[in-house]
Amino acid sequence: MKGIHFQYSTYANQSELNAEDAALLAKARQATKDAYAPYSQFNVAAVALLNDGSIITGTNQENASYPIGICAERVLLSAVSSVHGLMPIKTIAISYHNRLGQSTKPISPCGICRQSLLEHTLRQGQPIRLVLSGLEGEVFIINNAADLLPLSFTADDMQ
């Protein structure tokens, strides 16, 4: 029998992070206010630190026609590609504000976003670190976003 696993780091709160990760997470937490989530009341923000030091933000954008909403992670990846071309992403901090409940534990990207993060990672040729947390509380750091999608489907599968 085979198994799949990956490692990630946990921190009790933002104060335990290095200065760069703490600043990026603070920006993501602040950016949740810019999300457009009138239906779910679940504001999500993703903030990227690029290799050149640039910071780009994306937030979820809902729509009354639910299938056409877009997650913060994919908004972010589109913005990075549109504004900075092939400049690699070093780290993405993702936070959320659940306006109907608590925002005290890390959340992970959905399946579509995991696939998009994998594709972007392969395209840029370097891992994308993830810093995951709510508005407060525990923080997860994943050193390679691609680890979130084991047994993934990629362009190589279409050869």
Residue 156 in any domain: the answer is no
Measured CA to CA, the distance from residue 31 to residue 99 in angstroms comes to 14
Residue 5 in any domain: the answer is no
According to DSSP, residue 70 is labeled B
Measured CA to CA, the distance from residue 152 to residue 127 in angstroms comes to 15
Residues 6-51: tens digit of each pLDDT: 999 999 999 999 999 999 999 999 999 999 999 999 999 999 999 9
Residue 10 in any domain: the answer is no
Residue 159 in any domain: the answer is no
pTM more than 0.95: yes
Percentage of the chain modeled with pLDDT above 70: 100
For 51, the token pair is: 């290799």
In terms of Cα–Cα distance, which of 145, 148, 105, 139 is closest to 25? 139
CATH label of the domain that carries residue 85: 3.40.140.10
Band of pLDDT at residue 66, cut at 50, 70 and 90: confident
Residue 8 in any domain: the answer is no
Domain that holds residue 65: 18-149
Measured CA to CA, the distance from residue 46 to residue 32 in angstroms comes to 8
Give me the helix-helix angle, 111-124 and 72-84, nearest 10°. 20
Burial degree of 115 (CB within 10 A; 0-12, 13-18, 19+)? middle
Residue 70 in any domain: the answer is yes
Residue 108 in any domain: the answer is yes
Count structural domains, the chain: 1
Measured CA to CA, the distance from residue 154 to residue 119 in angstroms comes to 7
On whether the CB atoms of residues 76 and 58 are closer than 8 A, the answer is yes
Residues 75-99: tens digit of each pLDDT: 999 999 999 999 999 999 999 999 9
Report the first-to-last Cα separation within the chain, whole angstroms: 28
Establish whether 20 is a catalytic residue: no
Residue 12 in any domain: the answer is no
> Which is the catalytic residue, given 73, 119, 136, 138?
73
